[in-house]
Amino acid sequence: MTHMTIVGIIANPASGKDIRRLVAHGSVFDNEEKVNIVRRVLCGLDAMGVERVLCMPESYGIGLRAMNAVQLKLSVRLLEMPLSYRQEDSQRAAALLAEIGAGCIVTLGGDGTNRMVAKGCGDVPLMPISTGTNNVFPLMIEGTIAGLAAGLVAVGLASGAVGQVPRIEIFREGNTGDEADDIALVDAVVYAERFVASRAVWDAAKIRELVLTRAEPGNIGLSAIGGHLVGNGLPAGHGLFVRAGLGERFVHAPIAPGLVRPVAVAEHRPLAPGDEVTIRHDQPTVLALDGERELELRSGSTLRLRLSPHGPHVVDPRAAIALAAAAGRFLS
């Protein structure tokens, strides 16, 4: 009995629509364009011999609409799963796809969407397509190319194009074990607000502490603070800790679309894999993960943040296609 090649698609209909369209200058990413992207992804997967695609069900019906007006050899079905119409659906879908044995998961969303997928996907490689606001983790890539790359990985022709990336592990007060309570893929920020509220982070003056998995110039969002502070000065796999406040200097960075703001930096230091940062504040704050406020912290509470090398496995689409081309996969 042969093993069926399965690829999952998790498309978030809410990505690209948060409050940063009002407080910053973020563009709205239309769901019909997500349908078009998924349609092109399906064409790429089909060309690489993927047999079945399982799509996360959601409110707009992106996966079902994408099947219209295109003829494919592969079968496309919706995952059978309960829906809450909350971000946890992405995590649940990823866990189901891992259990089923998917060879790759294609995501459409921003950093927040991919964070939830990474919480459930286990070792299944991700092919993340950017359709959100702060897009450091996912890639700005044409859907057909993403589909080709994901298909090559799923059928076993480009395993060398998959690499594991770091993550930030969050341990709440009282958790002395090794299993994290939550994770972030790009940034974890202590933010001077009392409530989660609208979730998004856009006020640079309220940033208190910042832990980053990467500090690359040219990114948008809170990780741009690190990128503009140290440039390419971090070794591979290392992260960065930044404490805001008067001291070292001001760094100007694009913390959201159209918002280039100065951030006062009191200190910063690189983080090696396994390094931890302990967070404690005398005033109520919130912890934002990958640009979205997630956890309300009471006065005097303590958190541990650890830079871990055990993040999700991610496809490098150019490397995947280069490997396949070198092996003659595209020659008839």
- Looking at per-residue pLDDT, the higher value among 192 and 74 belongs to 74
Alpha-carbon gap, residue 90 to 153, rounded angstroms? 21
Position 124: which residue type?
Answer: V
Q: For residue 94, is pLDDT > 70? A: yes
pTM of the model: 0.92
pLDDT at 67: 87
**Domains and their CATH numbers in the chain:** 6-165+312-326 (3.40.50.10330), 167-308 (2.60.200)
pLDDT band at 198 (very low <50, low <70, confident <90, very high): low
- Per-residue confidence (pLDDT) for residue 199, from 0 to 100: 67
What is the signed CA dihedral for 158, 161, 164, 165, rounded to 10 degrees? Answer: -140
CB-based contact 168:211 (threshold 8 Å) = yes
CB 62 within 8 A of CB 31: yes
Say whether pLDDT at 20 is over 80: no
Contact yes or no for 265/229 (Cβ under 8 A): yes
Q: What is the pLDDT of residues 102-126, one digit of tens each?
A: 999 999 999 999 999 999 999 999 9
- pLDDT tens digits for range 275-307: 999 999 888 899 999 988 888 888 888 999 999
The share of the chain scoring above pLDDT 70, in percent, equals 93
What is the model's pLDDT at position 16?
53
State whether residue 190 is helix, strand or coil.
strand
CA gap 211, 197 in Å, rounded? 22
Residue, of 314 and 87, whose pLDDT is higher: 314
